[in-house]
């Protein structure tokens, strides 16, 4: 199942707008997600020592938008991308996601 990491600020906008609107949707035309096994490396690469992240679990069968697994950087690893809006009601779960000691993300805690 795809996972999306967003900040609490973005989640605040989500609650107000009733859809998930991370910056990647406006910038790239899709919501960049990760598979369960990709979340830790994605978090360490893109979010460093951030303490304000939330982990959204999304079941692609429950959303209207198109989900495409793509390797846009040519590194042999396909990430799920959601092309379109993700409604708050389509998110299965939301959990706090914080780094461990030393500021590195080490486990999902799910």
Q: What is the pLDDT of residues 7-57, one digit of tens each?
A: 666 766 655 456 777 777 888 889 889 999 999 999 998 888 888 888 989
Give pLDDT, residue 81: 93
User: Long-range contact list for 40-43, CB < 8 A, 24+ apart?
Assistant: 40/105, 40/106, 40/107, 40/108, 42/5, 42/79, 43/5, 43/97, 43/99, 43/105
Give pLDDT, residue 80: 93
Whether this prediction's pTM lies above 0.75 is answered by yes
Domains and CATH numbers, the chain: 3-98 (3.20.170.20)
Average pLDDT taken over every residue of the chain? 83
Nearest-CA neighbor of 9 among 25, 22, 28, 19? 22
């Amino acid at each position: 199942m795809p996972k999306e990491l967003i900040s609490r600020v973005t989640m605040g906008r989500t609650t107000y707008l009733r859809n998930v609107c991370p910056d990647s949707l406006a910038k790239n035309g899709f919501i960049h997600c990760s598979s369960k096994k990709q979340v830790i490396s994605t978090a360490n690469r893109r979010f460093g020592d951030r303490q304000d992240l939330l982990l959204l679990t999304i079941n692609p069968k429950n959303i209207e938008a198109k989900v495409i697994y793509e390797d846009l950087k040519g590194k042999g690893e396909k990430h799920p991308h959601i092309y379109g809006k993700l409604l708050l009601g389509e998110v299965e779960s939301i959990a706090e996601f914080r780094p461990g000691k030393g500021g590195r993300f080490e486990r999902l805690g799910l």
